[in-house]
């Protein structure tokens, strides 16, 4: 690498979301003198896990967003630009202002694309006509407004095909709504449906019994294998695609008074169209070291990679120290040995004041952070609710984004997984 380039940094990080900033903080914790740049056009940083609680009337949306300048580590240079292309063979990226940045190590944590346009009619009606989503800052408060206003009628909650951010979020919105309606005595007058494109309620079987007990408690009509494909907001009609008994796809229409939509999700275009993507468009890394499969000095983490873990902030919190360790190894010409086990967590808000704390690693194997006598993640718990409402936002802002790695110390393998 020619370090004489004007715009050269030891480490360049693409994306100043949870993954990018957590890696920057973890790197500086290990090497305070490291020359790091972060590239991201955003002026604000969002705590996305909080949007479920905004939609449930627990948080105000303003609590979930801070100025970007206040969360980027002071020693890190911020280029407030978008990345338009990657040039890994000459170790550079091109930004939207036409400038190139050169690096020794590249870390990519861009997130993914919420594909609102994939469902005809959805974008035009989102935020009105009873159509809402906790998946964006702008409309999460409208979810709570709908919940408060609905006294009778039909409420539909949807989940698209995987992969999506936080696979439990679509049903979290539903349980919090039902909890509110039950407390107000109106749930009996509301027909609630959960239309899930998948074949199971939740991907890790250990947590399904507790969730099913709430499906039954709230009288929710659970419809698996139903994919939202169109929305007519003016007429309040949602169209779903199903597979009938003969194995043929057909479409059915459902009317609604409230529709909570989880949009389909896909790779971002600038990743998909780059030499760093796999055939499906996701950032192509080894699932253990998070090193790129073709470029040894490139790493990736977060929602935009092709690792087969749950796409959650908890996963990023576990991935960031692994990437930090491995980046520093490669900087000194050593093979990466820190290993990510696929940890992810999904605090399922089954009612206001109780959570089923799902924690698991690759293969759907349960991996709790706490002893069972303290929090049994397979059962609804008030302590888990306190963790979600009180502790985790603080851990995010004051811990993860500042290089503190509580409960996520990386495992260092005796030998590199590959050389």
- The residues annotated as belonging to the active site are 166, 346
Give the span between the Cα atoms of 179 and 76, in whole angstroms: 44
* 213 contacts: CB under 8 Å, gap ≥ 6: none
Whole-Å CA distances, 134 to 21, 57, 69, 352, 355: 23, 11, 25, 16, 18
For 35, the token pair is: 């020359």
> 3-state secondary structure string, the chain?
CCCCCCCEEEEEEECCCHHHHHHHHHHHHHCCCCCEEEECCCCEEECHHHHHHHHCCCCCHHHHEEEHHHHCCCCCEEECCCEEEEEHHHCEEEECCCCEEEEEEEEECCCCEECHHHCCCHHHHCCECCEECCCCCCCHHHHHHHHHHCCCEEEEEEECCCCCECCCHHHHHHHHHHHHHHHCCCHHHEEEEEEECCCCCCCCHHHHHHHHHHHHHCCCEEEECCEEEEEECCCCEEEEEEECCCCCEEEEEEECCEEECCCCEECCHHHHCCCCECCCCCECECCCCCEECCCCCEEECCCCECCCCCECHHHHHHHHHHHHHHHHHHHCCCCCCEECCCCEEEEEEEECCEEEEEEEEHHHEECCCCCCCCCCCCCCEHHHHHHHHHHHHHHHHHHHHHCCCCCCCCEECCCCCCC
Least Cα distance to 79 among 109, 107, 99 occurs for: 99
């Amino acid at each position: 690498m020619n370090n004489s380039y004007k715009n050269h940094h030891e480490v360049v990080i693409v994306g100043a979301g949870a993954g990018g900033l957590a890696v920057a903080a973890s790197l500086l914790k290990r090497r305070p003198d490291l020359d790091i740049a972060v590239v991201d056009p955003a002026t604000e940083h969002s705590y996305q896990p909080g949007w479920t609680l905004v939609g449930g009337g627990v948080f105000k949306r303003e609590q979930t967003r801070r100025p970007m300048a206040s969360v980027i580590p002071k020693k890190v240079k911020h280029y407030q630009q978008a990345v338009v292309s990657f040039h890994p063979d000459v170790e550079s990226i091109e930004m939207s202002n036409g400038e190139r940045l050169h690096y020794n190590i590249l870390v990519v944590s861009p997130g993914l694309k919420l594909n609102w346009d994939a469902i005809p009619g959805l974008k035009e009606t989102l935020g009105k006509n009873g159509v809402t989503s906790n998946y964006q800052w702008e409309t999460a408060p409208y979810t709570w407004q709908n919940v408060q206003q609905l006294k009778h009628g039909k409420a539909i909650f949807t989940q698209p095909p995987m992969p999506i951010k936080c696979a439990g979020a679509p049903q979290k919105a539903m349980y919090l709504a039902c909890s509110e309606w039950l407390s107000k005595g109106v749930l009996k007058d509301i027909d609630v449906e959960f239309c899930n494109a998948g074949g199971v309620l939740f991907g890790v079987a250990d947590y399904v019994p507790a969730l099913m007990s709430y499906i039954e408690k709230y009288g929710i009509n659970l419809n698996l294998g139903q994919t939202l494909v169109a929305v007519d907001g003016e007429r309040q009609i949602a169209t779903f695609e199903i597979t009938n008994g003969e194995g043929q796809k057909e479409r059915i229409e459902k009317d609604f008074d409230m529709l909570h939509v989880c949009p389909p999700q896909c790779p971002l275009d600038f990743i998909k169209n780059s030499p760093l993507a796999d055939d499906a468009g996701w950032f192509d890394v080894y699932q253990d070291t998070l090193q790129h499969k073709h470029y040894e000095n490139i790493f990736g983490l977060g929602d935009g990679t092709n690792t087969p873990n749950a796409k959650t902030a908890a996963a990023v919190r576990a991935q960031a120290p692994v990437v930090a360790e491995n980046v520093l190894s490669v900087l000194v010409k050593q093979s990466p040995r820190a290993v990510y086990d696929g940890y992810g967590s999904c605090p399922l808000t089954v009612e206001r004041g109780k959570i089923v704390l799902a924690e698991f690693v690759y293969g759907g194997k349960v991996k709790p952070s706490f002893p069972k006598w303290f929090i049994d993640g397979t059962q609804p718990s008030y302590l888990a609710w306190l963790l979600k409402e009180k502790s985790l936002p603080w851990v995010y802002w004051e811990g993860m984004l500042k290089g503190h790695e509580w409960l996520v110390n990386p495992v260092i393998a005796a030998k590199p997984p590959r050389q």
